[in-house]
């Protein structure tokens, strides 16, 4: 199956522990992705969070499609206060799969550098579309996360 990797770096004015806490909560992804409109069926077991989310796509400005995805989320906090990681997988209908990783590293000024990496796998013909949407979501996520955590305190 064709695949591609996307990576985006951004800075936030919050320490890694605050970034980790925000990214570890599924409900916080509403607004972090402009496509996400619902998060439900959240369950936590053995240090792993599983949930269902709904992405809303619009085609030609008229047609709407709600894409139900299954998400797995893991956190790594053993290296706090200097580093943290949030990672997981997304399974989407149509055979689109995504592995994601947020590597969060402390900066000297009390903030963090976030490296947001996505590895997309999609059937032939869907990869370019999926990568375009994912890249736009990454760029927006960096702006929204920085804004949220700047006002969080």
Hey, where are the domains in the chain? 3-151
pLDDT of residue 13: 95
pLDDT of residue 1: 82
C-alpha distances (whole Å) from 60 to each of 36, 57, 64, 88 are: 19, 10, 9, 31
Give the chain's count of helices (H) and strands (E). 2, 7
Give the residue, 15 or 152, on which the prediction is more confident: 15
pLDDT (tens digit per residue) in 123-144: 988 888 889 889 988 989 999 9
pLDDT of residue 34: 85
pLDDT of residue 54: 96
Return the structure tokens found at 5: 């990797």
- Exposed, middle or buried, 26 (CB in 10 Å: 0-12/13-18/19+)? buried
Q: Per-residue pLDDT averaged across 90-115, rounded?
A: 95
pLDDT of residue 152: 57
Confidence of residue 85 (pLDDT cuts 50, 70, 90): very high
Q: Per-residue pLDDT averaged across 83-109, rounded?
A: 95
Q: Per-residue pLDDT averaged across 42-59, rounded?
A: 93
Q: Is 136 helix (H, G, I), strand (E, B) or coil?
A: helix
112 contacts 19 by C-beta, under 8 angstroms? yes
Confidence of residue 92 (pLDDT cuts 50, 70, 90): very high
pLDDT value at 146 more than 80: yes
Is omega for the bond preceding 101 within 30 degrees of 0, making it cis? Answer: no
pLDDT of residue 25: 96
pLDDT value at 153 more than 60: no
CATH 3.40.630.10 fits 3-151, yes or no: no
């Amino acid at each position: 199956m064709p695949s591609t990797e996307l990576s985006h770096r951004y800075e936030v004015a919050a320490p890694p522990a605050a970034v980790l806490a925000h990214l570890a909560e599924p409900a916080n992804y509403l607004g972090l992705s402009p496509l996400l409109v619902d998060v439900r069926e959240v369950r936590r077991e053995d240090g792993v969070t599983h949930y269902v989310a709904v992405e809303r796509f619009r085609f030609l400005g008229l047609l709407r499609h709600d894409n139900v995805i299954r998400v797995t989320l893991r956190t790594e906090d053993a290296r706090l206060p200097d580093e943290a990681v949030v990672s997981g997988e997304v399974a989407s209908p149509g055979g689109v799969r995504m592995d994601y990783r947020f590597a969060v590293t402390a900066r000297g000024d009390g903030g963090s550098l976030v490296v947001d990496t996505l590895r997309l796998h999609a059937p032939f013909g869907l990869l370019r579309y999926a990568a375009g949407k994912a890249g736009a979501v990454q760029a927006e996520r960096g702006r929204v996360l920085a804004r949220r955590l700047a006002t969080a305190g």
